[in-house]
Structure 1
């Protein structure tokens, strides 16, 4: 069985989109894959209840309980590895990961970013796109590397920037596309890596 571990920090909307697709398409039968666990660094993350609603095991590990980023990442790796992950999915996990963590899951950790990478890495992507006068914005699923918001691009979706757009309005339209392409990218990864 190809186990997926999803990391969240907040609402878990992308995690829920993946879980819905996994159930609807019966990934367990079709791909030999299942979401083994959802782990959050925030005990009050709303996505934990969503995951439980899908029957997915949940865990929390607060980064505030650790003296260093390295110590937290080491403990998080131990939690993840108990599930023998085939794929680690970052779904709104608001932590910059240490190089050791990224190296440990090299080639099997992916993230979604709310811009058309390589444009607008980091934060405030929607406002930056509006401020630069971009005609389009979008979202990117990519493999995670030690360099923030870099790594091989797995999928992208383009969203128009409309006249008078606010960052919140653009973010809402981009999020709709995230919910489409992230499950697709996870499915494609599982299918592609299935025999390796």
Structure 2
């Protein structure tokens, strides 16, 4: 059974979608053993505790990035985490963090990478006039929103879309795509050639 660690900074809707997929049996072979947040008041921490999961906050405010990352790494290692899912974790992962869990950190981003990396991808898509948006599940590397792509899902951008309506439709796809991408990684039935994720 693969032991998952989830990192979040907010409400953790993608975390909750993963937990639901595990509970209903659509995501198999894994269990969430630790939920961590860099914010003590993150609603996702309370949600995790209500589900009976181990959840901790390691506040990052006022702490040097390297020191905070060392505390996060130690907590994940103590929990014997095999695979990490970033679920709205609003901090850039340091090279030291990535080196501690090579090819074992996943993220989901609300755009079709490599388009619109960084903050407010939905707003970027609207401002650019993109006709198709979506989400991407990818491995995390040392660059922001850059690692090998595992799964992408598309969402049409409608003429009357606002930031909120587009973000809501993308989020629906995120909840499905993250579980799908996680299941693909858990299967081990893939190889990576250059930047390409290839299913066996």
**Alignment size in residue pairs:** 190
Shift of 1:39: 0.6
Counterpart in 1 of 2:196? none
CA drift at 1:106: 1.2
TM-score (norm 1): 0.92
Larger mean CA deviation between 80-89 and 137-146 belongs to 80-89
Partner of 1:42: 39
Q: CA deviation at 1:26?
A: 7.3
Larger helix fraction of residues: 1
- Structure 1 alignment gaps of length 5 or more: none
Could you say which residue in structure 1 is the equivalent of 2:155? 159
Q: CA deviation at 1:91?
A: 0.2
Gaps of 5+ in 2: 190-200
The corresponding residue for 1:125 is 121
When normalised by structure 2's length, the TM-score is: 0.91
d(CA) in 2 for partners of 1:102, 1:167:
32
1:97 to 81, 85, 93: 93
Distance in 1 (alpha carbons) for counterparts of 2:73 and 2:127: 38
What SS is found at the alignment partner of 1:85? coil
Q: What does residue 178 of structure 1 align with?
A: 174
Flag as ranges the 4+ runs of structure 1 deviating above 6 A: none
CA RMSD after TM alignment: 1.5
* CA distance in structure 1 between the partners assigned to 2:72 and 2:91 by the alignment: 12
Q: Distance in 1 between matches of 2:50 and 2:152?
A: 29
